[in-house]
Structure 1
Amino acid sequence: MADPRFIHLRVHSDFSMVDGLQKIGPIVSAAAANNMPALALTDQMNMCGLVRFYGSAHGKGIKPLVGADFWVQSDELGDEQFRLTLLAMDNDGYQNITLLISRGYQRGHVQGRPVIDKAWLGEHAKGVIVLSGGREGDVGKFLLKGNRQMVEHCLAFYQTHFPDAYYLELLRTGRPDEEVYLHMAVAIATEFELPVVATNEVVFLTADDFDAHEIRVAIHDGYTLMDKRRPRRYSPQQYLRSQEEMAELFADIPEALENTVEIAKRCNVTVRLGEYFLPNFPTGDMTTEDFLVMKSKEGLEERLEFLFPDPAVRAERRPEYDERLDIELKVINQMGFPGYFLIVMEFIQWSKDNGIPVGPGRGSGAGSLVAYALKITDLDPLEFDLLFERFLNPERVSMPDFDVDFCMDRRDEVIDHVSEMYGREAVSQIITFGSMAAKAVVRDVGRVLGHAYGFVDRISKLIPPDPGMTLAKAFEAEPKLPELYEQDEEVKDLIDMARRLEGVVRNAGKHAGGVVIAPTKITDFAPLYCDDEGHHPVTQFDKNDVEYAGLVKFDFLGLRTLTIIDWALGMINPRLAKEGKPPVDIAAIPIDDKKSFALLQRFETTAVFQLESRGMKDLIKRLQPDCFEDMIALVALFRPGPLQSGMVDNFIERKHGKEAISYPDEKWQHESLKPILEPTYGIILYQEQVMQIAQTLAGYTLGGADMLRRAMGKKKPEEMAKQRAGFEEGAVKNGVDGELAMKIFDLVEKFAGYGFNKSHSAAYALVSYQTLWLKTHFPAEFMAAVMTADMDNTDKIVTLVDECQRMGLTVIPPDVNTGRYRFSVNEDGHIVYGIGAVKGVGEGPIEAILDARDRDGPFRDLFDFCNRVDIKKLNKRVMEKLILSGAMDRLGPHRAALMATLEEAMRAAEQHAKAQAVGQVDMFGVLTEEIDDVKKAFANVPHWPDKVWLEGERETLGLYLTGHPINQYSSELRRYTSGRLCDLHPTSRDTVTTAAGLVIAARSMVTKRGNKMGIFTLDDRSGRLDVTLFSEALEKYEELMQKDRILVVSGQVSFDDFSGGLKMSARELLDINDARERFARAIRISLDEQRIDERFFPRLCEILEPARAGVCPVQVNYRRPGSRVRLTLGTEWRVTPTDQLIDDLRVLLGRERVELVFD
């Protein structure tokens, strides 16, 4: 260490989460630029950044010092917490700091944060240096309180447990009481012969970062910047001061500077990185290697019997499987990974034995025959040309990585099993960090700066919600953003500050699927982080760092589709059993089912895994896949690279014989490549094909070919020059012309950038095919399962109900007598809406309903329901929701009567319950009130109007299920339009068509040219029409383009190449009221003398009054015996014929006595 003057021993990165602004890279770079030979990272109560700090510091020639800032509690200070900084002198110290941090999290938060007990320090003192925490430490607090006795008491504790390793910390950052404390601390240090040390408690890089850091802290604490209650805990001086600045600042206390260097010399921690430590798998008396060989050979035998039931065919095919298995086993055992395969095999087999659905595999692991033999994967890699070396390359040592999909609902059971098997202290999930993303950071900064919600909302809404969106990308995507930024100073200030905070770590969570299993305790490798209650521990190192630290990651991923398949089979197989048919084994279905491919070719793939997006349907329509290999290709083709490069077009043209197939190019091809490229019509689509071409043409080993594939992906000139030379040399040795070899190399290099992992594509194509097959052969059960999975997503349910109707399936309202929590299928084959999808009805009430029904059978009526169901779990509000949704339609005359009778039914049930509770009996000892006696008559009320009925469904189900709002307008819409949507046809440019319907979806977008356009979809129950408003029309009609509005549109109708339906470019939009004003000649009401009394005309005036000032005349047809007269009210009584007016008149007069006149 070359004569340093000062070392920073207390530095926070953004991993502190409650403070700290900078990422580790810039901190280390700044330290290196200042020639600092060492640096400590001491984030608050965590070491989340340790691995990347350790690596980054070594990379810059800086000695990394390992430690953390702690919050501590003790009996001496009661509820008042204090701070200490702990630094590791050696690996014992590192281990002790790890354990202290973990204990702090495991016991749960105290006063909103993880805290350690002071007593724990004595248990974990070995190898640890303690910095006293300055004015915020226990000694500092007692010094400032003037409590000499407690100062001595605290010092005695530290001198006992940390002799020669306790330093009184001095800071000069301009915060209250710092200088007062400093003089007291120096005096006490002299008196007790204690060392002092200077720190700067660094939380940002430069003084200019102070404002941004204050906002960062205020975001975390929930204050606005100007809030007088906001704690001001930081100063502008807490930046990464240079050695010279610190030397000048503490020139009067040189030993405080010297001790920073002394401490840095004392701290020597070696963090073992880049090694792998696997838990021991129980194999009895056998070695792990031998056990793997045995299990693999047993498993392969089972697989071969399934694949080739004919013994002769099996004997013929066996050699290639045996040879491949031996090669793989040799590599796995030589690389030291047999335990990894066995661990994965065990928890997958346990899951299957316990009825937990497991995916067929994903990622490159599907290329391993050993994995297939061990039933880790379910795809035969030889059948689909999947390569083991793409998964595990003997020429490049790296851990194998199986991504395993489990049923979403039961994934945690598998993790629990693994915890039980290997020990709970040895198993943990992995941390993930949430950062301040573009949209959120604008909202947060705006709130903290005190801007009005509307102002911030307007800016935030301009940022697209796409994953990975940044402010820089948003400025390119949305022209209004840079425009506002330049025009409005407040917007500029907000965006500038948001840019400084964008990407800063904000919080921690749990990785979706990562689980680590250690050979010993997890804390031997990484500290733990827990939730506020001290539960659900995760490693403080993220998925990349935890592997670098030596722990092997296993991905336990939850795949919703597996849950859907499981739910569907749970309905299908009981039905088949009743019919005396064998159950469906989804793993054994044929993958060449003609009906399934016919459905696929009609691109009817809504709800089919990975194949339901609009773009994918377009690709399916063009490709017309007719075999499983085509489905594998679909997954690989539907990516930006292939779509934009023209590869997709070539693939489709070649498949349909419109372009000659060559291997790979008509000018440069070689016959030996035909077997490799034939499944993809000569197109280099998969990474495995790149590897096979190198092997076949240039004699590469598959391991070497994998290195070539990686090199092509990275595009490093030096490496590529080396690979070119090697490829040419190998090809010439194989008798291939050198020029041809290089031309093919260039083509391979070009396509390698677009190449996709075939193993992953094949595994996911299999899941896609399984859902396609279920939709084809068991449509009702499949769709019911899909809707259950999406029951919390109203928009998705609307789409799925529409798909059911298109498929000819009937979806009926929820039903307390036949329905379940999930969507189900009744004996008529109808899908019964899941009661769990009714808004406002929770699991508790549904459980009570199902318990009562399962116990005593279906409910007879509303009174019976109220009597038998536990009313404590079903309050009046819940029952109203059930009535509105249609779930009680079988329990009374109609919904209006059920609603009007509900209170009486609940009251009667309550009386009955009280009578039972007190044992009210007559002289013969029989209850005086049996259930039948409670039954009362239903209220005699009229049916609800359609509008009320449908609105109730929309409120509780999120959609109109038993009717459609358009129905009440159908007669008048015929007067405004060219016909129903199903009757429309394309028109010439000059022909205007008028159509009408309910807006079911609407959105605005910006075209590539920067013009805004609107797109919405109309539905009139006969069909649908996509309508486009270009910029001029959009500006005029944007307010009308709202979901759930009835609109009349005029424009040009044309054919939509994608959907196969029609679309309209609209010129004019009218809402229903505007259409009536334009087209209706009058509103006509019919009266007779029986209906007229002294209250009639005042009520009629009351109804007409709000609608006056319109242009539509009111006609009155009056009839009495022997005479009839028609009169028109004066012009002052002309009205706007709104829905409200028509509804009110119909209530007063009767539906048939109010009509719009068009002739």
Structure 2
Amino acid sequence: MYLNCHTYYSLRYGTIAIPQLVEKAVSLGVKQLAITDINLTSGVFDFVKECQKNDIKPIVGVEFRNDDELLFVCLAKNHDGFAEINRFLSKHKLQHLPFPETAPKFRDVFTIYPFKKKHLAKPHDWIGVGISEVNKLWQYPDKLKQIVILQPVTFFDKVGYNTHRLLRAIDKNILLSKLNPDSQADINETFLTPDYLHTIFKDFPAIIDNTNSLLEECNFIFNFSSNKNKLLFTNSKFDDLRLLENLTLTGYKYRYTDNPAVLERISKELIVISQLDFSAYFLLAHDIIQFAKSKGYFHVGRGSGANSIVAYCIGITDVDPIELDLYFERFINPHRTSPPDFDLDFSWDERNDIISYIFEKYGEDYVCLLATYVTFKQRSAYRELAKVFGLPKHEIDALINPEGSDYANVTADSLGEWGHLIIKYGNLIQDFPNYLSIHAGGILISDKPLYYYTGLNPVPKGFPICEFDMYVAEEIGFAKFDILSQRGLGHIKECVDIVKQQRNIDIDIHAIQAFKQDENLKQQLRNYETMGCFYIESPAMRQLIWKLRCDNYLTLVAASSIIRPGVASSGMMRAYIERYHNPNSFDYIHPKMKELLSETFGIMVYQEDVIKVAHYFAGLSLAEADILRRGMSGKFRSKSEFLKIENTFFTNCKNLGYDESITKEVWRQIESFSGYSFSKAHSASYAVESYQSLYLKTYYPLEFMVAVINNFGGFYKTEFYLHEARRYGAHIEAPALNYSGYMTRLEEKTIWIGWIHVKSLEKKVVDLMLAQQGIKPFQSFEDFYRRVPISLEQIIILIRLGAFRFLDKKKKNLLWQAHHRHTQGKKKGQSSAYLFEVKEETLELPHLDYHDIEDIYDTVELLGFYLEPPFSVLRNPIEIPTRAKDFPLHLHKTITILGYLVNVKFTRTSTQERMAFGYFIDEDGAYFDTVQFPKILKQYPFQGAGIYLLKGKVTEEFGHFALQIVSMEKQHLAFDPRYF
């Protein structure tokens, strides 16, 4: 009877979550139910699973519309019919075509036309009639054999109807009062009882029979547990396994010397991989990596895939699982509740090439990007509803963010009825899907055409996305590939290229084992000289390395994990540092914990630690431990599932005789991981890339800093990477004609900042300059004018920047020349460029005052940063001898120091008060840290970038010195003499 049900996956239209829809059907005794969301199939598999749990036969389909116009409803007779619907849906979406008035002649699909379009129905089609159209049926006795009940379900009640209308107004971006009746559903589109529908259609039993007959013919049978990935890389499973074995053994010879234990581990892994039909998945990942290598692209294989020695041997990762005692079972085992996947990172500017290769090699019908649902969050829901109700912007802003508004008196109560409606309906639509977006990097490679599982949608990147997210993908049997991008790999690749070009040195950046033993790298870590290095450059990470006195790979792996918010905020990071330095100074909470966690001093640092504790300490099964793992990494959807595991944990611990206080403390540590935990393999992968960066910075610091700057990544602004390069001996030059390129470049020890950093300078001007510069250097101001057509505004930018400083002429004189040249050109009706050389004109100019500070302010305005910290241009210079290097001499004393702000991180105390950690440069160019507790931060807030006079007490923790601020005052810079 229910052929046309909308869920909230009918975006900004439907109001019903899938569990609510099925629950309602169960309460009414419904045994067959169809989901037909508008132009989308996102809810299909959640719907099927929910129906199967409740003994309801699921029927799947799509309601096709062009804007608000209902065209027809399609229901799949079987899985092939679902594929037909998806192929039809995808064709029109991907080609941006409107749907036709009539559906094609499907083979395994029922098409139902609304009653008002009955004239379009072919003999093999159906005509749908709603309860409001029954009285018209007497006029069409010849059509009765084609008619079925088409009673849409869009909401349950009046509140649902109101919610629907608000969603439609949001979708149209109009006031609710302007909503057209044609843009919204009829008020009767509720879940009517079967008895009521039978009563309405009692005079037309044939229609009831037709409807039931149609439902009976539809059977969507789906196996959630089968592997949906591409199953074969070669022609057979046997050949796949043989190829994987050969690749692994070849890689073994490169990675290891003869080692029977390693060979035994390889053999065990290959058996499991074969048993779980994962050979092709490994080979696909290997193929992607080989393509990247053929193009000279770098990659990092990270995540739980690094637990596999097979992955290490065939080059998917550079993490040695033997060295780190990584469990293969963390990646793949028969008890996992979800498929594993490989995370493959590529440089930000190469990722699209990798994705294009995958689509081209494995076929566009078999490859797609994963989707993610962007949902209505509380604030966004309130904002959208406030717009629909017509509130002015200042009231909307005040309602959403009262702390940051000048209208603090605006509250939901002060807005009266409108305010209460916004809160009420905002809470109702919270977490409703709003639109589909792209998952950060997930790609599916399917064994069958993707239309058997999903429709495909176009996105601006040019690659189609499916219509479900990673959770659904996992539940239906897909193991995704995460093809991700990051700037850190761009740093590494460009640095290697610069070294090759300028020094003719080939760097094997994958020689990680050698890097780990390099004494110079160890010293670089001991000196916490990590700025620019992937993942270990932030002030917080630098502090942690300092406190741990880290100088080796294994400690860096641990640091990469304990810096995560869950471990840090729970107090376990501090405990780890204390125990690291004093391993005999503490007692394990339980002997079993010593057995399981001696490597990490009794503290759970990695996901693997939690799995071990859950399984061996609390007696959870491996399957239950895997659910716990997913829960703490934020990759589960069912809170009830997680609560069940929690109950099992406490029950098991009680049965095992543990003291309740011990159980609670162990669970507290587990809970602190929620949403933030790393697998050990993931931390190890990060540490590998950190070591690659560290190697380059240690031996090629200037090349490395140029690479960091040119890839626009990293924790800091360009200004501070230039400062870091200066610390390593570089001479920094602003962009200049004849020397600078579009990107920043290195010439011996001089770094020429690239034109890309100059604000308001047009790309076409830069291209013309560089093209002419490539022919021959510019000789004079007139020579430049002859060869580069340029506007007065653009030439002024170049002059003020000092781009003509090779001419040894004052900027103000050049500005006079530029204005004169353009004025003369306009008078003569000619451009500023000449076909033939003309004699350079000499202007007699009066003496023009000039101050060095003018150049500094011009540079800041045009580049957006200082070429060096501006201590020299303080309005009221202060002679303060204290520097960061003096902190150890003044421990526990109050000192004063000048600092140029690099970065500030705000956080919350345990009582939710705001505090801050500052990071500054002193007058010698050295870095130092500050801490501002809540009371001081309120009294002396940060006032943006600049130089601060800082007064505070020098503190020390595990050898790391910092300044606990007592007072802080931002210093004024000297006035620009041109304006005063």
Q: TM-score range by the shorter chain?
A: 0.7 to 0.9
| 1:868 maps to 2:805 | no
| 1:656 maps to 2:578 | no
Partner of 1:96: 84
Structure 1 CA distance for aligned equivalents of residues 409 and 35 of structure 2: 38
What is the deviation of 1:802? 4.7
| 1:299 maps to 2:251 | yes
Structure 2 counterpart of 1:105, from 90, 93, 98:
93
Please show how residues 800-839 of structure 1 align to structure 2 within 5 Å.
800-804=721-725, 809-827=730-748, 829-839=749-759
| 1:567 maps to 2:489 | no
Partner of 1:768: 690
Structure 1 CA distance for aligned equivalents of residues 151 and 351 of structure 2: 47
Equivalent residue of 1:433, what SS?
strand
Partner of 1:349: 290
Q: Counterpart amino acid of 1:271?
A: F
Structure 1 counterpart of 2:776, from 826, 833, 857:
857
The answer on whether the counterparts of 1:328 and 1:370 sit within 8 Å (CA) in structure 2 is yes
Q: Which runs of 5+ in 2 are unaligned?
A: 633-641
Structure 1 counterpart of 2:809, from 880, 884, 893:
893
Equivalent residue of 1:356, what SS?
coil
The answer on whether the counterparts of 1:431 and 1:540 sit within 8 Å (CA) in structure 2 is yes
| 1:557 maps to 2:497 | no
Partner of 1:1124: none
Please show how residues 534-613 of structure 1 align to structure 2 within 5 Å.
535-577=462-504, 581-588=505-512, 589-613=514-538
User: Quick check: 998-1007 or 779-788, which moved more?
Assistant: 998-1007
The answer on whether the counterparts of 1:900 and 1:941 sit within 8 Å (CA) in structure 2 is no
Structure 1 CA distance for aligned equivalents of residues 706 and 385 of structure 2: 44
| 1:797 maps to 2:718 | yes
Structure 2 counterpart of 1:336, from 277, 282, 292:
277
Partner of 1:443: 383
Equivalent residue of 1:626, what SS?
coil
Structure 2 CA distance for aligned equivalents of residues 427 and 213 of structure 1: 35
Residues 283-329 of structure 1 show CA distances to partners (whole Å, capped at 9, x for unaligned) of 6997222222222222212222xxxxxxxxx34xx211221112212
Partner of 2:130: 170
Residues 967-987 of structure 1 show CA distances to partners (whole Å, capped at 9, x for unaligned) of 4544x354xx97888799999
Structure 2 CA distance for aligned equivalents of residues 929 and 454 of structure 1: 58
Structure 2 counterpart of 1:417, from 354, 357, 360:
357
The answer on whether the counterparts of 1:601 and 1:624 sit within 8 Å (CA) in structure 2 is yes
Equivalent residue of 1:572, what SS?
helix
Q: Counterpart amino acid of 1:131?
A: I
Residues 767-801 of structure 1 show CA distances to partners (whole Å, capped at 9, x for unaligned) of 1222222223222222222222227x997334434
Partner of 1:1083: none
Closer, same or farther in 2 for the Cα pair 1:220/1:900, shift >3 Å? farther
The answer on whether the counterparts of 1:1001 and 1:1017 sit within 8 Å (CA) in structure 2 is yes
The answer on whether the counterparts of 1:362 and 1:763 sit within 8 Å (CA) in structure 2 is yes
Partner of 1:116: 99
Partner of 1:779: 701
Q: Counterpart amino acid of 1:1060?
A: F
Closer, same or farther in 2 for the Cα pair 1:806/1:488, shift >3 Å? farther
Equivalent residue of 1:421, what SS?
helix
What is the deviation of 1:868? 3.0
Partner of 1:86: 74
The answer on whether the counterparts of 1:92 and 1:127 sit within 8 Å (CA) in structure 2 is yes
Q: Counterpart amino acid of 1:167?
A: I
Structure 2 CA distance for aligned equivalents of residues 50 and 760 of structure 1: 33
The answer on whether the counterparts of 2:583 and 2:601 sit within 8 Å (CA) in structure 1 is no
What is the deviation of 1:566? 0.7
What is the deviation of 1:807? 5.3
| 1:132 maps to 2:113 | yes
Q: Counterpart amino acid of 2:248?
A: S
Structure 2 CA distance for aligned equivalents of residues 275 and 518 of structure 1: 12
| 1:392 maps to 2:332 | yes
| 1:942 maps to 2:930 | no
| 1:267 maps to 2:199 | no
Structure 1 CA distance for aligned equivalents of residues 552 and 560 of structure 2: 13
User: Quick check: 1025-1034 or 878-887, which moved more?
Assistant: 1025-1034
Residues 1102-1146 of structure 1 show CA distances to partners (whole Å, capped at 9, x for unaligned) of xxxxxxxxxxxxxxxxxxxxxxxxxxxxxxxxxxxx969x866x6
What is the deviation of 1:634? 0.7
Structure 1 CA distance for aligned equivalents of residues 933 and 93 of structure 2: 56
Closer, same or farther in 2 for the Cα pair 1:865/1:328, shift >3 Å? same
What is the deviation of 1:357? 0.8
What is the deviation of 1:23? 2.8
Q: Counterpart amino acid of 2:766?
A: I
The answer on whether the counterparts of 1:894 and 1:943 sit within 8 Å (CA) in structure 2 is no
User: Quick check: 491-500 or 562-571, which moved more?
Assistant: 491-500
Partner of 2:564: 639
The answer on whether the counterparts of 2:82 and 2:452 sit within 8 Å (CA) in structure 1 is no
| 1:529 maps to 2:512 | no
Please report the TM-score for the alignment, with normalisation by the length of structure 1.
Answer: 0.72
Q: Counterpart amino acid of 2:591?
A: W
Q: Counterpart amino acid of 1:517?
A: I
Equivalent residue of 1:787, what SS?
helix
Equivalent residue of 1:867, what SS?
helix
Residues 570-617 of structure 1 show CA distances to partners (whole Å, capped at 9, x for unaligned) of 21222221xxx5535343542133333333334343332222334333
What is the deviation of 1:1056? 5.2
What is the deviation of 1:92? 3.4
The answer on whether the counterparts of 1:1002 and 1:1042 sit within 8 Å (CA) in structure 2 is no
Partner of 2:4: 10
Structure 1 CA distance for aligned equivalents of residues 286 and 210 of structure 2: 54
Partner of 1:516: 444
Taking only aligned residues, the RMSD between alpha carbons, in angstroms, comes to 4.8
Closer, same or farther in 2 for the Cα pair 1:336/1:57, shift >3 Å? same
Q: Matched residues, percent identical? A: 24
Structure 2 CA distance for aligned equivalents of residues 442 and 907 of structure 1: 56
Closer, same or farther in 2 for the Cα pair 1:765/1:544, shift >3 Å? same
Partner of 2:635: none
What is the deviation of 1:13? 2.2
Closer, same or farther in 2 for the Cα pair 1:512/1:682, shift >3 Å? closer
Closer, same or farther in 2 for the Cα pair 1:742/1:82, shift >3 Å? closer
Closer, same or farther in 2 for the Cα pair 1:459/1:816, shift >3 Å? farther
Structure 1 CA distance for aligned equivalents of residues 471 and 224 of structure 2: 11
Residues 513-553 of structure 1 show CA distances to partners (whole Å, capped at 9, x for unaligned) of 111222343223322112389x4212223223234444442
Q: Counterpart amino acid of 1:169?
A: V
What is the deviation of 1:64? 1.8
Closer, same or farther in 2 for the Cα pair 1:569/1:463, shift >3 Å? farther
Residues 907-957 of structure 1 show CA distances to partners (whole Å, capped at 9, x for unaligned) of 89999998999xxxxxxxxxx963364676597783666676444433432
Q: Which runs of 5+ in 1 are unaligned?
A: 1-6, 74-79, 140-150, 173-178, 305-313, 465-477, 729-738, 918-927, 1074-1137, 1147-1159
Structure 1 CA distance for aligned equivalents of residues 237 and 188 of structure 2: 65
Residues 205-242 of structure 1 show CA distances to partners (whole Å, capped at 9, x for unaligned) of 33113333333222222223344789753454434444
Structure 1 counterpart of 2:954, from 1055, 1063, 1068:
1055
| 1:1043 maps to 2:944 | yes
Q: Counterpart amino acid of 1:778?
A: Y
User: Quick check: 483-492 or 950-959, which moved more?
Assistant: 483-492
Structure 1 CA distance for aligned equivalents of residues 847 and 759 of structure 2: 26
Structure 1 CA distance for aligned equivalents of residues 312 and 967 of structure 2: 56
User: Quick check: 319-328 or 977-986, which moved more?
Assistant: 977-986
Partner of 2:680: 758
Residues 59-102 of structure 1 show CA distances to partners (whole Å, capped at 9, x for unaligned) of 233222211111369xxxxxx96521111223332222111111
The answer on whether the counterparts of 2:799 and 2:814 sit within 8 Å (CA) in structure 1 is yes
Equivalent residue of 2:23, what SS?
helix
| 1:44 maps to 2:38 | yes
Please show how residues 214-293 of structure 1 align to structure 2 within 5 Å.
214-227=165-178, 232-243=183-194, 259-277=210-228, 278-282=230-234, 287-293=239-245
Partner of 2:638: none
